[in-house]
């Protein structure tokens, strides 16, 4: 598969997923511009250049995006944190990414998250799987920023024609390590193939992908993967005998967002399945 004709900008390049993508995409001959607020910790891959930059600095981001055909936006706060810590990189920083994409005519691949829908309850069967157009139900400030990011992509597509693919990443680790990950796990190899197709697909429009491997226990159903020509090849099932059992926290076990839903949780009883209902 031929590499993209134009350079590709990767934000969050010094994080775990960014480092993996930098190595694998560079090995495929991609010309990469890497950026992060933290130094790049590995030897720089062939064909890649790194510039330290803050997502809050819109001018720096515009400079890095010049001439790029795609922006892989994996930067920002990547776990649940207080609102003020999330605000700058995840909200203002995303605006800077989309302004750069609008100016360059670049496609955005946005690392969204399952935490944008984390307060949906876990399904009891395949018929209850969530589709891409389900309601947002973020489970914290981090998840809220990811819902905002997907909505910004919708607006920039409607208003400016900026193509964007929103990857609702489940749990991307070398292997699943708990029971929930049997449903949410995304292998590194499947992530690489997914990002590759997001950039190389002829058309993307505004798309949402459930970014998880081919897990029979998945919580998620329809999305736009056929549009970009991606299908996961790995599965969490081989690790089923190794993972742990049910946690002691009923909130964690009830919702798709897992432990994030239990952070500072103060309700006396669960919210209704219908977010606009008074009770179930």
Residue 2 falls inside a structural domain:
no
Q: Indicate which CATH number applies to the domain containing 83.
A: 3.40.50.720
Q: Is the pLDDT of residue 245 over 80?
A: no
Residue 278 falls inside a structural domain:
no
Residue 109 falls inside a structural domain:
yes
The total domain count for the chain is: 1
Residue 268 falls inside a structural domain:
no
Q: Is the pLDDT of residue 173 over 80?
A: yes
Q: pLDDT tens, 122-149?
A: 998 767 899 999 999 999 999 999 999 9
Residue 40 falls inside a structural domain:
yes
Residue 3 falls inside a structural domain:
no
Residue 280 falls inside a structural domain:
no
Residue-averaged pLDDT of the chain: 96
The predicted structure's pLDDT at residue 154? 98
Range of the domain at 110: 8-262
Q: pLDDT tens, 175-193?
A: 999 999 999 999 999 999 9
pTM for the whole thing?
A: 0.96
Residue 272 falls inside a structural domain:
no
Q: pLDDT tens, 13-28?
A: 999 999 999 999 999 9
275 pLDDT band, cuts 50/70/90, is confident
Q: Which residue has the higher pLDDT, 254 or 248?
A: 254
38 pLDDT band, cuts 50/70/90, is very high
Q: Is the pLDDT of residue 213 over 80?
A: yes
User: What residues are labeled active site?
Assistant: 142
248 pLDDT band, cuts 50/70/90, is confident
Q: Mutual orientation of helices 141-160 and 93-104 as an angle, nearest 10°? A: 20
């Amino acid at each position: 598969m031929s590499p993209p004709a134009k350079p590709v900008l990767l934000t969050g390049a010094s994080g775990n997923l960014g480092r993996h993508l930098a190595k694998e995409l560079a090995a495929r001959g991609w010309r990469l511009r890497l950026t992060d607020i933290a130094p790049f910790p590995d030897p720089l891959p062939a064909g890649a250049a790194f510039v330290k930059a803050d997502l809050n600095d819109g001018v720096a981001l515009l400079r890095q995006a010049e001439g790029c055909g795609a922006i892989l936006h994996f930067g920002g706060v990547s776990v649940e944190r207080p609102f003020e810590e999330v605000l700058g990189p995840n909200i203002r920083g995303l605006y800077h990414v989309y302004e750069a994409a609008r100016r360059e005519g670049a496609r955005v691949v946005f690392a969204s998250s399952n935490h944008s829908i984390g307060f949906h309850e876990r399904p009891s069967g395949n018929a209850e799987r969530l589709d891409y157009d389900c309601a947002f139900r973020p489970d914290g400030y981090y998840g809220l920023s990811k819902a905002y990011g997907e909505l910004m992509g919708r607006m920039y597509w409607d208003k400016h024609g900026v193509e964007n693919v929103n990857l609702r990443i489940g749990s991307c680790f070398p292997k699943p390590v708990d029971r929930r990950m049997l449903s949410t796990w995304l292998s590194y190899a499947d992530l690489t193939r997914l990002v590759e197709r997001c950039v190389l697909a002829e058309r993307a429009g505004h798309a949402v992908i459930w970014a998880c491997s081919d897990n029979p226990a998945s919580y998620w159903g329809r999305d736009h993967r056929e549009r970009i020509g991606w299908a996961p090849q790995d599965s969490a099932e081989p690790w089923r005998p190794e993972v742990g059992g049910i946690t002691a926290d009923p909130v964690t076990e009830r919702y798709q967002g897992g432990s994030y839903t239990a952070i500072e949780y103060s309700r006396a009883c669960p919210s209704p399945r219908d977010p606009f209902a008074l009770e179930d």
